[in-house]
Chains A and B, each alone.
Chain A
């Protein structure tokens, strides 16, 4: 291949792909077949971007030509930018050569929509098929499901890809109408539903026939843009919850809107990316998936938005002081997980360690519990709960005084904006 030409294409088509924040390469269980190339595992970040995000996949667009004009997207038809398109073989060669050098875990291939949904999807599937069948490549492949793609193509896509995703981008239907007038809500749902059903069917058949060809073992994911349409955190998380429950999503990603084009419907160019808000949404997502919280405990009509100054678990604890203190020596895991400053990792350690004797402050510190937060919500051995008279606001003040969160600086900035 001509090096300079490839170089130019790569720079255009990687640049356009970077706003998709998903970079997961875990959750698949593909092993190396017949002494071929690659396998998948728990997912490795081979490097990190200068903005601190994990790089584990070669993330590119097949092309950035697009017939649509979604307002929030750099690739939109009306945007005056350089366009390019990869040939199928070019993507295959890049993937294989990067993979062999241990740069990546695999490929994440997306695309602008050219000609039609099916024409586009066909080309994505062709790349995956070639990698699997001709190159005996067993690394990770994530394909974008193109909204409106046919069931047959989605079926084929899942036979070669580990993960499939459709980005709904806009959490509310009204927002979608405003910003992506060409796209219909049903078009997003269609491939999602097909993939969901195929996965269910695969799992059922697998139990009976061992040799059933695997189908999208790492499941589906989606992404929402945060801060483009004035939606509330409640809007976002309820939508996320809906997708987790209804479509068995493996992951929902939240992407703080980066202004890329001037448009009166959107935040102006140069507006700050809402990174702190994005972070709070991810924290909430974790509470839902791993900590046993349900969405309405954290967000509801009284509290439609997450606290900016404290994380959602601490926020919840402060609003529900009546649930505390929790005794770390006796409480069930489920309750331990609700103590601010206690991660699931520490919860596991506490449960093991407390079998050997009652735990005190010193033990907990050694185990790695963030006592500066946890102390207000728990009791342990030989300890009177000394904080019982404190009001939520006082506790919050005390914790904030002593914390150096990674967003502390940006938070104080924002605070001074409001004062």
Chain B
């Protein structure tokens, strides 16, 4: 096991794919693949730093997509879960894809396939949640602004949805946890990072950053939410199952008034 290596990449998906490229190209025996922020010294393996190369990344990606579109999207979703050890798991998954003629990604009885699919499913669920739970607030600059704190890194996955839907308004969706956001300027979506003193939650009091009207609409939405409830059917357990408490602080309908 002397020549097993620990590949270190920059945390981006392209960086990861570059690592995969090197592993295959140089026939490296991979002990682990770790991102540079969390990498830990392995006892018995050497480090090798991987420099992200978009060309190489693209070649790997096209190869995977050729194998199966569905497998490539499961892989990408699973990668965004940021789960410990996801890189190595994803590496095994890719190995499997390339070493079989059959459509191995459909073999749900296989542990690696199953795990990738489960992670992809969780990330997919979070993507849907964010498409549902984003609450824009209109700033005085005329930008619709929302903060989110998703469990997984789903911003890259929701960009298209919001761009297609809100094509005629400027908006920002900012991931407070990962400290970056998306800004749509009526033409394209850009990645941005902001200095936010505190996350703009849907607070009870009107906030200087937002228009007067904004507070009124939140009030109306809050009222509306209350009046949709049928008291004789109340089922708070089901309610919190659908709308888990950790999301409440950004939901204008859940603020206490």
In the complex, B7 has a CB within 8 A of chain A: no
Cα A406 to Cα B229 with chains together (Å): 20
In the complex, A286 has a CB within 8 A of chain B: no
A357 contacts B224, CB within 8 Å? no
Category for how many chain B residues contact A = 35 or more
A35 contacts B108, CB within 8 Å? no
B230 contacts A258, CB within 8 Å? yes
A102 contacts B114, CB within 8 Å? no
B229 contacts A47, CB within 8 Å? no
Within 8 Å by CB of B128, from A44, A47, A136, A366, lies A44
Known contacts A44-B128, A51-B230; A102 and B146 CB within 8 A of each other: yes
Q: In the complex, what residue of chain B is closest to A135 when comparing beta carbons? A: B168
Within 8 Å by CB of B136, from A14, A100, A353, lies A100
Cα A238 to Cα B127 with chains together (Å): 39
Cα A55 to Cα B253 with chains together (Å): 11
In the complex, B24 has a CB within 8 A of chain A: no
A15 contacts B227, CB within 8 Å? yes
Smallest distance from the beta carbon of A349 to chain B beta carbons, Å?
Answer: 5
Cα A272 to Cα B134 with chains together (Å): 36
Smallest distance from the beta carbon of B252 to chain A beta carbons, Å?
Answer: 8
Cα A94 to Cα B168 with chains together (Å): 18
Cα A359 to Cα B251 with chains together (Å): 45
Please, what's the 1-or-0 string for B212-236, where 1 marks a CB less than 8 Å from any CB in chain A? Answer: 0000110111011101111011111
In the complex, B5 has a CB within 8 A of chain A: no
CB-CB contacts below 8 Å: A30-60 with B: 31-32, 35-39, 41, 44-55, 58-59
Cα A37 to Cα B166 with chains together (Å): 6
Smallest distance from the beta carbon of B122 to chain A beta carbons, Å?
Answer: 14
Chain A positions within 8 Å of B216 at CB level? 3
Chain B positions within 8 Å of A256 at CB level? 233
B217 contacts A98, CB within 8 Å? yes
Chain A positions within 8 Å of B230 at CB level? 18-19, 49, 51, 258, 273
Known contacts A50-B234, A273-B232; A357 and B167 CB within 8 A of each other: no
Smallest distance from the beta carbon of A185 to chain B beta carbons, Å?
Answer: 28
B224 contacts A100, CB within 8 Å? no
A35 contacts B167, CB within 8 Å? yes
Stretch at the interface among B31-39, B44-52, B190-198, B237-245: B237-245
Cα A406 to Cα B238 with chains together (Å): 9
Stretch at the interface among A4-12, A189-197, A289-297, A315-323: A4-12
Please, what's the 1-or-0 string for B155-183, where 1 marks a CB less than 8 Å from any CB in chain A? Answer: 00000010011111100000000000000
* Residue total for A at the interface (Cβ-Cβ under 8 A): 55
Cα A6 to Cα B236 with chains together (Å): 29
Smallest distance from the beta carbon of A163 to chain B beta carbons, Å?
Answer: 19
B239 contacts A48, CB within 8 Å? yes
In the complex, B144 has a CB within 8 A of chain A: yes
In the complex, B256 has a CB within 8 A of chain A: no
Which of A19, A32, A367: most chain B Cβ within 10 A?
A32
A356 contacts B109, CB within 8 Å? yes
Please, what's the 1-or-0 string for B104-138, where 1 marks a CB less than 8 Å from any CB in chain A? Answer: 10111110001000000000000010011111111
Q: In the complex, what residue of chain A is closest to B117 when comparing beta carbons? A: A349
Smallest distance from the beta carbon of A82 to chain B beta carbons, Å?
Answer: 13
In the complex, B102 has a CB within 8 A of chain A: yes
Chain A positions within 8 Å of B132 at CB level? 44-47
A52 contacts B223, CB within 8 Å? no
Chain B positions within 8 Å of A3 at CB level? 216, 219
Chain B positions within 8 Å of A6 at CB level? 220
A37 contacts B109, CB within 8 Å? no
In the complex, A352 has a CB within 8 A of chain B: yes
In the complex, A207 has a CB within 8 A of chain B: no
In the complex, A101 has a CB within 8 A of chain B: yes
3 smallest A-B Cβ distances: which pairs? A52-B238, A51-B233, A363-B109
Please name 16 pairs of A and B residues whose Cβ atoms are closer than 8 Å in the assembled complex, sorted by A.
Answer: A10-B223, A11-B223, A18-B229, A37-B168, A37-B169, A45-B242, A49-B230, A51-B239, A59-B228, A97-B217, A100-B169, A101-B137, A102-B135, A103-B135, A258-B230, A258-B233
List residues of B whose CB falls within 8 A of some A CB.
102, 104, 106-110, 114, 128, 131-138, 144, 146, 161, 164-169, 216-217, 219-221, 223-225, 227-230, 232-239, 241-243, 251-253
